[in-house]
Structure 1
Amino acid sequence: MSLGQELAPHLPFLRRYARALAGEQQAGDAYVKSTLETIVEAPQQFPRDMGVKLGLYRTFQAIWASTSEDGAQDNKEPSSDLREHVTRKRLVAIPSEARQALLLTAMEGFSHADTALLMERDETEISGLVDEALAEIDKQISTRVLIIEDEPIIAMDIETIVEDMGHDVTGIAVTRDEAVALAEKDEPGLILADIQLADNSSGIDAVADILGSTNVPVVFITAFPERLLTGEKLEPAFLITKPFQRDTVRAAISQALFFHQV
């Protein structure tokens, strides 16, 4: 099996991490593209000794860490896509190492030991960074959250997490029409949306309808994340995979609000 074939299953999830880290699809996907270009240019330098997935994320982390605000990546000219997006205003507020550590552990499921390897830190430092990120979440300004989810138990779990974070829930919608009606009645500051809804309507369509009249951050929830992480079309920046862990939801909400406030 070629290196490209070994990397392929991990690319959708690297896109998820990159988008959450950069705050948008285009910038995140540009970093992933630059990562792949780096691997293609020097495959012999790919760190196979740590495994394909870790090696892929380690290559990405090196590019992320070495890219400055003006697009300079060490002494190497970055790709045109990366050069274009790294200079955007929102990337001036690049998330701290604490947020990187939280996303790698809570969203991507890496152990503290693996995260330490990826970030070139020791495990004790990673634990401290994660604690720092969680403390930042507790300090975030509260907002009003609309939940679009047709499975009652999951909706209740999300509602509990959201309220425990200090946010208010404006309502829970199970269909596209309900979601639009609730948003019109009480404008949310954040939307958490499932993809497939009760009447076979789409959470994506519901969000598109709502965003036609307001601008709020959105976190999508799906059991099939690969379908929205292709890099081939307009796709979400923030995505949670079902089944999810509490810290995964917290990390995604925090990151979405972080960039909306930039």
Structure 2
Amino acid sequence: MSDTDRAALLAALPYARRFARALTGSQAAGDAMVADALRHGAAAVPGQDGARLGLFAAVARVAVAKPEEPAAPLSRTERMLLLLTSLEELDAPTAAMVLGLDEDLAEAMLGAARDRLRAATAARVLIIEDEAIIAMDLQQLVESAGHEVVGIAATEDAAVAIAERERPTLVLADVNLGHGGDGATAVERILTRVSTPVIFVTAYPERLLTGSRVEPAFVITKPFEPTTLAVATYQAVTRGLPLGAG
């Protein structure tokens, strides 16, 4: 492997980790899936973003080797399509290429999957965000997706207090709370008291996806579309079922 290819692969790794963690619902299981993909070979595909797309394809090949759960609201392929087009921001033809699907079939599967997202799960959500306008926007997005917002916290202490009182089934957390502290620290404190999935919202996802420490399974990038939040919420609340190994 040339130095250029190696550099491209290293740059693509955080995004492969994000995809795999969201798919499995677990940092450990997702990172193990990426490791398996690398061991089996992750050749770049033609194009400007070839290394990242090649890694996605390799992760998908590892995923399809795992047992499918027939009773799940969304199939594994539907979830991979949704994650690739929303979380990873690929267009439908590119996602279809990554998964080895016909483009028309992929479009049809995406449409059907999006229609079932709202009915699949409903969460009680704690929003941790220090910017009032952004917090209001997040609340509107969360509620429009059929979930209940049980509280909005601008500081670490407020987030912990609300979590203890309301016992949310999902936490949506900004990383940087300005003078109110750190969102990641708030989440660490919450998780010692309440067992709940967490979605981090950040403009710099690669900083949370290094693989060097305990990290989130679910990370979405600012700014994001409503479908991105809906998909991430579904994966977080169901913990990636049927592939959920965490």
Tell me which interval the TM-score lies in, with the shorter structure as reference length. 0.7 to 0.9
1:167 and 2:147 are equivalent in the alignment: yes
Distance 1:108 1:221 in 2: 14
Q: Aligned residue for 2:34? A: 32
SS at match of 2:90: coil
Residue of 220, 231, 247 corresponding to 2:227: 247
Q: How does 1:38-187 map to 2 (within 5 A)?
A: 38-39=40-41, 46-50=43-47, 51-65=50-64, 67-69=65-67, 96-187=76-167
Q: Aligned residue for 2:10? A: 8
Distance 2:128 2:96 in 1: 36
CA distance 1:27–1:261, change in 2 (3 Å):
closer
Q: How does 1:155-234 map to 2 (within 5 A)?
A: 155-234=135-214
Cα deviation code 1:166-225 (max 9, x no counterpart) = 111111101001111112222211110111113251111111212212211111111111
Cα deviation code 1:58-80 (max 9, x no counterpart) = 22222222x234xxxxxxxxxxx
Cα deviation code 1:92-123 (max 9, x no counterpart) = 97952111100000010111111111111122
Higher-Rg structure is 1
Cα deviation code 1:130-164 (max 9, x no counterpart) = 12222221112422111001122221111011101
User: Gaps spanning 5+ residues in structure 1: where?
Assistant: 70-89
Distance 1:3 1:217 in 2: 35
TM-score by length of 2: 0.88
C-alpha RMSD of matched pairs (Å) = 2.3
Distance 1:117 1:23 in 2: 24
Distance 2:178 2:240 in 1: 29
User: Gaps spanning 5+ residues in structure 2: where?
Assistant: none
Q: Aligned residue for 1:20? A: 22
Distance 2:88 2:190 in 1: 29
SS at match of 2:46: helix
Deviation at 1:28, TM superposition (A): 0.5
Distance 1:164 1:230 in 2: 33
Q: Aligned residue for 1:75? A: none
